[in-house]
Structure 1
């Protein structure tokens, strides 16, 4: 997605673009995610400003590309205990809560009115009006189809770049692709030519587990998160979260797998659920069942009935910059080439704004 939106920015600014993809179709974190445009949990400052700008860009792109599946559905982070509700209340009272994030604290009745599919036992929820969603499995083909209409965009899948030249690149078929500028948006892949050019970039890899269910009979009118999301996202740090950590430890499974529940309904009615976070390599090649049992239990408690049957399970790996002051790692690796990677879990949310920043920095 990061590479595709860089192509979008360049074409929008009048350039011709050739996009090379190592796989026949994107198969990394760009399709193995929730499709969330997630503003609510972002850290105050540059991260929040970037997410808000990306949210506006997503909406604008979605108007041109309906197949992107953009929808301004907002999100509910549901609190099942008084300690979780206290975190939601503190967040709703923060300086930028209403004007920038669109936060509002809801009681249980208001939550169920806003999202009638939630019929479980809970205290209330934090509503974030700014959050949105797109369809991760179809977003890139939809964007590429729109780009192709310009006559200035070429898609070249199944090609790995092997050499960087002064005028472009050479792929593993021996074909040259010339251009004034080369952007490496390689996601979690930092070996091969990337290592040769950039050494060990300051990013770490994160592995997650997710799943997709059969269609839910009801419409989930918002994206949904559970109270463990307060522990994961930086926007919720404060005294109430400290109190939650002390008084309400996570379950053993949730703690061991660094879990939160995120729940997004796809356009076909199915639910994308997750996720876990693993930071220590080498990562396992298989998936573990305990986290899925936990996700099904928590999601079922919020819905008030069991989840539909899980029909797909997967793991994914993304790259995350290790510099807490940056949204992404962006660095020149040669006179005519830059590496852009490591947005972490912000990739789907912030990709349009990251691409815009690259275009501005490189004066495209």
Structure 2
């Protein structure tokens, strides 16, 4: 078959990967010269530990296996099984970590509660003052700024893949699509993976898909000067991931309010080291549109303070700041919004913050649904 993928982000690219792996020809179209949306404006985390029990966790675990296999074939992806440490500083946060580390799914998630000495042995860059850390062995990371080009380069080696950037798809027909240059692209199946872009042709085909947009603020620092051997989160992360819900979290939320800035911007600390030694740091969550066009400084000051407290020294100078927007399905029982919008076309969007983590498995599910 000939498969057309509309969208050059990680979700679209992994759909292309699945189709090529199954022996099909693929043309991938992207409206920008290069992917510029949430697929590159993220941490590159393959974040298993915080996923909700059931389909979400199963999808993340399957995706984790797929990412590792892909990483073995595509070294430029920068895959590493570095795990994560959620570092806790209060008794209430420690209670949440202890509760989930003793839970029925602890082994599946790779959880282990570490004391201070064990934490610092695992990640010597953490020299600050804290009580404990929740280790998640299953978590991993890739390099988001180079992932798509690296994957495309490997796809091109197959001889069955064509990349066509700078082309906005304007029309869907029974035989394929037409772009804004008037060029036809014929295919048996069209998969729209357009992320937070749900206007134009997507709106014509799907109306208003059941997704909402979420805006984040993030940053990248100068190199740390030493290895951060794991990804790092703070105790506020417990508030934003469904895996941690339970009596201990209810007690935490009732008795330990976030700081004013963290609460106002719905913040957690996530800290991931890039291969060049720099740190990706974030993030905030904004849900009410219209979103601001600028970034706000207070969250960056908060992140620098919290990260510095865990590292035991000032955070390296921030050299880049940005905002990103991703699409999140409003159906909490689904991992992604997948909808047939025509006899020969599917819309796949709305993985939310799970996009980088779950894209390989989401693409696998789409391929199975299409009997590729």
TM-score, normalisation: structure 2 = 0.97
1:275 paired residue number: 283
Question: How big is the shift at 1:247?
Answer: 1.4
SS in 1 for 2:145: coil
SS in 1 for 2:235: coil
Q: 1:46 aligns with which of 34, 40, 55?
A: 55
RMSD: 0.4
TM-score, normalisation: structure 1 = 0.99
Mapped pair 1:87 → 2:87: no
SS in 1 for 2:224: coil
2 CA distance for matches of 1:246 and 1:52? 32
2 CA distance for matches of 1:303 and 1:68? 27
1:349 paired residue number: 357
Q: 1:134 aligns with which of 125, 137, 142?
A: 142
**Structure 2 segments unaligned to the other structure (5+ residues):** 1-9
| Deviation string, structure 1 residues 307-358 (Cα, Å, up to 9, x no partner) | 0000000000000000000000000001100000000000000000000000
2:252 paired residue number: 244
| Deviation string, structure 1 residues 244-283 (Cα, Å, up to 9, x no partner) | 1111100000000000000000000000000000000000
Mapped pair 1:190 → 2:198: yes
Map 1:49-198 → 2, pairs under 5 A: 49-98=58-107, 100-198=108-206
Question: How big is the shift at 1:22?
Answer: 0.7
**Structure 1 segments unaligned to the other structure (5+ residues):** none
Question: How big is the shift at 1:82?
Answer: 1.0
| Deviation string, structure 1 residues 274-299 (Cα, Å, up to 9, x no partner) | 00000000000000000000000000
1:310 paired residue number: 318
Q: Which runs of 4+ in 1 moved over 6 A?
A: none
2 CA distance for matches of 1:235 and 1:356? 24
1 CA distance for matches of 2:347 and 2:20? 19
2 CA distance for matches of 1:22 and 1:223? 33
Mapped pair 1:4 → 2:23: no
Question: How big is the shift at 1:26?
Answer: 0.2
Mapped pair 1:293 → 2:301: yes
2 CA distance for matches of 1:12 and 1:84? 44
| Deviation string, structure 1 residues 71-100 (Cα, Å, up to 9, x no partner) | 0000000001111011000010110102x1
1:17 paired residue number: 26
1 CA distance for matches of 2:255 and 2:127? 26
Question: How big is the shift at 1:120?
Answer: 0.2
1 CA distance for matches of 2:85 and 2:362? 26
How many residue pairs get aligned? The number is 363
2 CA distance for matches of 1:246 and 1:325? 26
Question: How big is the shift at 1:38?
Answer: 0.1
SS in 2 for 1:138: helix
Question: How big is the shift at 1:109?
Answer: 1.1
Mapped pair 1:209 → 2:217: yes
